[in-house]
Amino acid sequence: MAIELESMISCPSCSFSWSLQMPIDACLAFVPCPRCAEILRPRTGDCCVPCSYGDLACPPVQKDGNCC
């Protein structure tokens, strides 16, 4: 299965969305919104920002179903 390294993130604060490049083997615990500068953090139970706010989960989750 191909692993996608780009996830479309949607900001919960201003609803801006942008394409985020994800590291192959690491979690993104916080990502600043490029428009409103809100710091996005994972929701409870999610490992990282793409899993909470992206259209794709992070690469470790895509690969194994679980994370770091």
* H or E element in which residue 63 lies: helix 59-64
CB of 11 to Zn ion, least distance (A): 3
4: contact with Zn ion by CB under 5 A: no
49: contact with Zn ion by CB under 5 A: no
9: contact with Zn ion by CB under 5 A: no
Phi, psi of 61 (to 5 degrees): -75, -40
Q: Which of 7, 9, 11, 58 binds Zn ion (CB under 5 A)?
A: 11
Exposed, middle or buried by CB within 10 Å (0-12, 13-18, 19+), for 67? middle
Interface with Zn ion (CB under 5 A): 11, 13-14, 16, 33, 35-36, 38
